[in-house]
Amino acid sequence: EPKTFKQTSNMVSQKTKDGHQELYLDYVTESNRVSAELDVVDFDAANSSHSQNRSLRLDETYNLNAKVLHELYFANCFCPDSQIFMDSNTYMKLQRDFGTFNDWQESFLACSMSCGEGWAVCGYNIYLQRYVNTIISNHSQDVMVGLLPILVVDCWAHAYHRDYIVDKKSYVIAQMREINWKCVEDRLSVVEQIAKVLK
């Protein structure tokens, strides 16, 4: 089922928000379709690298990732009264793992600018045991194994071209100014619990 999000930002137009919502709903629909087809796929034919099973598995990852990444993004951005406190767990953990909070910001911006059509993600890597900034190309390529996302920014052109044309940097900075730090803090708390179990 699709989720509902309040995108109250003034940093992107209503047309962009509406278009993004329609795209998200398409991914939900496709994800459900692929899931239903996988329920009845002929596994006996799965030996071929070009089998229906392989194609559906690739589609499953692509569409499910697209759905989840959009949900994470919609929830952690679009917060006009964005603020983070120096004594928050998020601030202290990012400062710990990047040197300073400003270093984290610069790293995340650079990551966002480098990812092309895809996603900039800050998350905890269970193998490195620290927070990292990374990219996901498209929706299902270059995915770092062991990553638990706490912050996601959509860097596909459709997220900014109506409002920023080719000025991706201004778009990313605008998104970073409207991070919902309460949402990020809640995710980080869950991640910290998972990290304790996996130690």
Q: How far is 74 from 105, CA to CA, in rounded Å?
A: 19
* Per-residue pLDDT at 121: 98
Give the pLDDT confidence of 150-163 residue by residue, as tens digits. 999 999 999 999 99
Query: Model pTM?
Result: 0.93
Q: Structure tokens of 196? A: 């304790």
SS3 120: strand
Q: Which residue, chain included where needed, has tokens 């099973």?
A: 53
Q: What stretches of 115-177 show up as alpha helix (H) in DSSP?
A: 161-164, 168-177
Decide if 120 contacts 108 (C-beta within 8 A).
yes
Q: Is residue 46 scored above 60 in pLDDT?
A: no
Backbone angles phi, psi at 79, to 5 degrees: -120, 95
Give the pLDDT confidence of 132-142 residue by residue, as tens digits. 999 999 999 99
Give the pLDDT confidence of 94-121 residue by residue, as tens digits. 999 999 999 999 999 999 999 999 999 9
